[in-house]
Chain A
């Protein structure tokens, strides 16, 4: 069924039968492509394979339910304010795909281009942000530099005269913003299912069958499934998935926490990041302030973090915006991240017919549509997409690390 204003009215009046948004078939014995991981990236890949490349005999295997992983745990921010040549065109393509996502999927994902403002506090930060803003503009990406008066006019609630981190200005990407994350998973699942993709939840892959340089299929909690091509999109657990195929990755798994406050009247008009304290915040349409900080810093597969990080994040938030001290924290949660050795992702072929989508650190959500496109392109054509040529797995061995932050091979510093 196509969603529209008319279908909404028909549904409200009880004139149309209610049907699940996507089918729930039992797994078939074999598929052309099996995608492991029913998160945003896996579902976007499946939809792109079907919609763009005409490959519809596809299964998406998800160990939990659809939307139970990081696609439902992130802080919903989209942006393409990257510095490096290898990153910027990819994230800009992603932002352009976000701009047409709802038309492509016929699903309301509440894409809101409310702008992303990165605050700066020192001359050094200003210079670094100006360089990044200029790099963005040279790639055709929107970037503006706001002086302190412009920031004050739009965000009067910030602590401009903070003794340690006075706000001096902001690098702004007006086309950045937020997207309702759950709707991204649901929208892709519904659109992929309509094109014939089998979405199979509660189906955990327990082994990968390998014959020399080829993969022949997977063993799962719902039986064995053969496949011509196998695609792993299990960020957070990529090391574990790849290990089943005998591959060791340049990745560590770390926990990142996020938080939401009680619902408030409209207060924060855009996304604000406070680089000095590693804090970022936006306000959901429901009214809650959605915010997060840095990873806890040690390897963890537990989807929960430590209180010291909670304290640090909240302190940074109050330093940026003193009024936050009066706001009640409603919920906090953790998600586990593939932290790669250079802070950048991997979209590559790992064996003859085994494809790998991994290493998204804590930037995976904004990349969802382009990750799906580039991964599907690689699976369908065998060649990397033009904007993903620097996301190769062997870049570490070639000395071609894509290190946006310049932090070196320390995953807990990216």
Chain B
């Protein structure tokens, strides 16, 4: 993992200021979704070797949840986005 993460609010900060939650790909199913959808959400993971999107939180800074896109083999960070901005752009893409 890279030693610097460029927080969209605070700028480049040491990685130790951030905590990681994990894979950002699984989306919480609707409450009445089929059990299979919930089980997949809880347990099934792509686990890619390469580009991966994750939820991180800037605990020692602005406190915002972020989506960090990075490479699980080279540790290169491609982008860091506020989760709200990421969700909005995903919603816009979904509408198009």
Contacts and interface: CB of A to CB of B under 8 A. Distances in A.
A248 B45 contact: yes
Interface stretch (A112-120, A130-138, A183-191, A298-306): A298-306
Interface in B59-77: 72-75
A237 B73 CA distance: 12
B46 A302 contact: no
Contacts of B36: 397
B54 A239 contact: no
29 contacts: A239-B47, A240-B47, A240-B49, A249-B47, A250-B43, A250-B45, A252-B45, A253-B49, A253-B72, A297-B20, A298-B22, A299-B22, A299-B47, A299-B72, A300-B72, A300-B73, A300-B75, A302-B74, A302-B75, A306-B3, A307-B3, A341-B42, A396-B39, A396-B43, A409-B43, A410-B22, A411-B45, A412-B20, A412-B22
B22 A301 contact: no
Given A299-B52, A306-B3, A409-B42, 5 more contacts: A249-B44, A296-B1, A299-B23, A300-B75, A341-B43
Interface string A201-243: 0000000000000000000000000000000000001011000
A92 to B, nearest CB: 28
A249 B73 contact: no
B13 interface: no
A298 B75 CA distance: 10
A248 B25 CA distance: 14
Nearest to A395: B43
Interface string B66-90: 0000001111000000000000000
Contacts of B45: 239, 248-252, 411
Contacts of B43: 250, 341, 396-397, 409
Interface of B: 1, 3, 15-16, 20, 22-23, 36, 39, 42-47, 49, 52, 54, 72-75
B49 A301 contact: yes
Contacts of B74: 302
B39 A298 contact: no
Nearest to A239: B47
Nearest to A299: B72
B23 A248 contact: no
B3 A251 contact: no
Contact of A252 (B1, B15, B23, B73): B23
Contacts of B39: 396-397
Interface string A233-269: 0000101100000001111110000000000000000
A355 B15 CA distance: 39
A402 to B, nearest CB: 13
A306 B1 CA distance: 7
A308 interface: yes
A250 B72 CA distance: 17
Given A396-B42, A410-B22, A411-B22, A298 B54 contact: yes
Nearest to A305: B1
A252 B22 CA distance: 10
A358 to B, nearest CB: 11
B23 to A, nearest CB: 7
B60 to A, nearest CB: 12
B46 A248 contact: yes
A99 to B, nearest CB: 36
**Nearest 6 CB-CB pairs, A to B?**
A239-B47, A250-B43, A396-B43, A301-B49, A301-B73, A298-B20
Contacts of B16: 308
A302 B72 contact: yes
Contacts of A253: 47, 49, 72
Contacts of B3: 306-307
Nearest to B39: A397
Contacts of A307: 3
Nearest to B75: A302
A300 B73 CA distance: 6
Nearest to A340: B43
Contacts of A300: 1, 72-73, 75
Contact of B44 (A240, A248, A410, A412): A248
